Amino acid sequence: MTRLEIRQHKSAIGEKKGAKQTLSALGLRRPGHVVSHDDSPSLRGMLRRVAHLIIVTDEKDGSR
């Protein structure tokens, strides 16, 4: 299964409650924080919700 590296690059200050909760569920706490998760449809939905705050790369080859 593919692992995705997720980096928060913008602050959640001023964002809606749902976006903040999604970042928290992903395990992201502050800009620059990086987490890794297995790719899944539910994860993709979460990433779509906060796409403007994060950068996603494929862990094995580093592509975006």
Q: Is 63 helix (H, G, I), strand (E, B) or coil?
A: coil
Position 21 in a domain: yes
Question: What is the residue range of 54's domain?
Answer: 3-58
The stretch 26-46 carries a mean pLDDT of 97
pLDDT top residue among 58 and 22: 22
For the chain, how many structural domains are there in total? Answer: 1
Provide the pLDDT for residue 59.
Answer: 79
pTM: 0.88
% of the chain at pLDDT higher than 70: 94
What's the CATH code of the domain at 46? 3.30.1390.20
- What are the backbone angles phi and psi of residue 56, rounded to the nearest 5°? -115, 130
Please report which residue ranges of the chain form alpha helices under DSSP H: 17-26, 41-49
pLDDT top residue among 35 and 60: 35
Indicate if the pLDDT at residue 43 is higher than 80.
yes
Position 31 in a domain: yes
